[in-house]
Amino acid sequence: MTLKKSILFTAAAALTFLLQSCGEYKKTDSGLEYKIIVDSAGPTIELGGAAFVNVRYVNEKDTFESMKAMGQPMAIPLPDSSTTKALLEEALTMLSKGDSASFKFNNDSLYKYVFHAPLPKELKPGSTTTFYFRVVNVWSKDSVKKFRDKQREEMLAMEIKRKVQIQMDSLAIADYCKKNHLKTQRTMDGVYYVVKKSVEGVTLQPGDTAQTIYTGKLLDGTTFDSNVGKEPFPVMVGMGQVIRGWDSGLMALKKGEKATLIIPSALGYGERGAGASIPPNAILVFDVEVLKQ
C-alpha cells in the first residue's frame, strides 16, 4: 500500500467511526436508549455468563467517572435470568466480544437498582446517565460455572487445610504448656495466656492505648523480637494495628499486668510467616508487660 493510499484508508476509517459514533440513539421495547458504536461478530453475552468490560459514564452534570479498576477490565457476572429491573443485564446482552456501545439509563432506576443508593441531590428525577461500554472478553454460562466450581473446590481445600493447622497448633500448644507447667486461660479468639502479675482494675477495651514491653519467641525458645531496655511499644488495642493474636491477648489484660501470650499461627503471621525470623505456620509466644501509664 502506498503512503497516499494509506492516508486515504486511515481517513476513511476515522470517518466511518465518526459517523457510527454520531448516530441517533435507538430504544428497546423497555425504553432503554442505546447506540452501537462498534459492532463485531464476536460471541454474544448470555445470561448466566460474564462480560469483561471497560466502562465510563457521565451524567447531566458532567460528573465523569471511570469504572476501569487498576487498569484491568471490570468483570460483570450476569444472573441466570433477567427481570424488568435488570438494567445492566439488558444492555450487556445486546453486545458481543469486541463491541462498543453507549446506553442512557434513567437515574431513578440506576441508583435504585444498580448503585443501591439514593439519587444524589444534584441530579434531577427523570434525568439520565450515559454509559460507554467496550467489551473486552466474554465468558459463557458454562465457563462461569467451571470457574465458580473451581473457586469452591479451592475454598474447601483451604478450609480443610486451615482446620488441620488449627488442630496441629492446639496439640503443639498443649504439649508446650505441659512441658513448661503452664496453666493457661483462653480468649474467645483462641489465644492462650497466663497472667504472671495480676492487678485490680478493668481489662483493656477496644480503642485504649497500651504501652507495652515485650519479648517474642518461637516455641523452641528462639527470640525473634524484643523491646526490653528500649522505648515502650504503644498499641491502640483492638484496632488492627498489630497481629490479631496481640489484640485478642491484650484485651484479656489490665494496665500494670504481666502475662505470657501463646498465639496460634492463624492469629499470628499464618502460612506466610514474617521474614527470615518467623517461619510459616509458626506459633508465637510473647512475654508482655502492659505499663500502668
Give one word for 152, left, alpha or beta, with left for phi > 0 and alpha for psi -120 to 50: alpha
SS3 109: helix
Please choose, from the candidates 285, 289, 284, the residue with its C-alpha nearest in 3D space to the C-alpha of residue 213. Answer: 289
Query: CA distances (Å), 277 to each of 13, 271, 287, in order?
Result: 62, 14, 17
Q: Is 286 a catalytic residue?
A: yes
At which residue does the C-alpha cell 505456620 appear? 281
Out of 57, 263, 286, 287, the active site residue is 286
Look up residue 109 and give its amino acid: S
Q: Is 193 a catalytic residue?
A: no
CB-based contact 273:282 (threshold 8 Å):
yes
Eight-state DSSP code of residue 118:
P
CB-based contact 173:183 (threshold 8 Å):
no
Out of 133, 214, 278, 283, the active site residue is 214
Q: Is 287 a catalytic residue?
A: no
Q: 121: how many CB neighbours lie within 10 A of its CB?
A: 6
Q: Specify burial of residue 110 (Cβ count, 10 A radius: 0-12, 13-18, 19+).
A: buried
At which residue does the C-alpha cell 492463624 appear? 266
Q: Is 224 a catalytic residue?
A: yes
CB-based contact 204:266 (threshold 8 Å):
no
Out of 269, 278, 283, 287, the active site residue is 269
Q: Is 243 a catalytic residue?
A: yes
**Active-site positions?**
214, 224-225, 243, 269, 286
